[in-house]
Amino acid sequence: MYIIGITGGIGTGKSTVAGLCREAGLPVLDADEISHSVTKPNGLAIPKIRETFGEEYISEDGSLNRKKISNLVFLDKKALDKLSIIVHHHTLNQMGIYLDQLKSAGEKVAVLDVPIPVKEGFLDRCDIVWNVVTDEKIRLERLQKRGHSLADAKRRIEVQMTTEEYSNLADLDIDNNSDFDNLRKQVNQLLEKYLGARGLPYNKI
């Protein structure tokens, strides 16, 4: 099975690229969706989060208190790193299980949508990694449209890896500084280059 990894910082449009891959008929495993499942009430990551951060970060229903933990980790990079290690461990384990299921079902291609390009469980699984790149000004505008203040949006970008760090870990960059049609064109070209040329199935978008 040929595996495409998609990564990029917050507000770059990584999820939009993953959505285009879905439109092309490819199965997409979204790390954010899986991370929500492992931090839901009595999720796999909850015991370790409780042990590391304390009961105050667990909601009454047994799920991660996202608002409270966000206020902590986006002000404290060490706390963010601790949380990321816990959640990513369980998220990537689950992703591996889902990949095995896709392979058993006869899928020839899979896409992994992962915000933090860790080596074990992501980079080592992918045949190629695409990094979505967008100028900070545009990223800030997008985050503000999602309801974040400018200061909060800046903090969220600052605690993540730099654009250069993302690029260095990926095989290629996708420029998302233009419009959606341009992004679609780039993704179509990449699918043709890396899937079509190998005779792997996908739908032209």
Closest CA to 129 of 142, 112, 146: 112
What's the pLDDT score for residue 75?
81
CATH fold of 2-197 reads Rossmann fold (3.40.50)
Whole-prediction pTM value?
0.89
What's the pLDDT score for residue 63?
97
What is d(CA 49, CA 79) in angstroms, rounded to the nearest whole number? Answer: 11
What's the pLDDT score for residue 116?
86
Which of the residues in the chain have pLDDT under 70? none
What's the pLDDT score for residue 159?
83
What's the pLDDT score for residue 84?
87
* CB contact at 8 A, 156 and 136: no
What's the pLDDT score for residue 146?
93
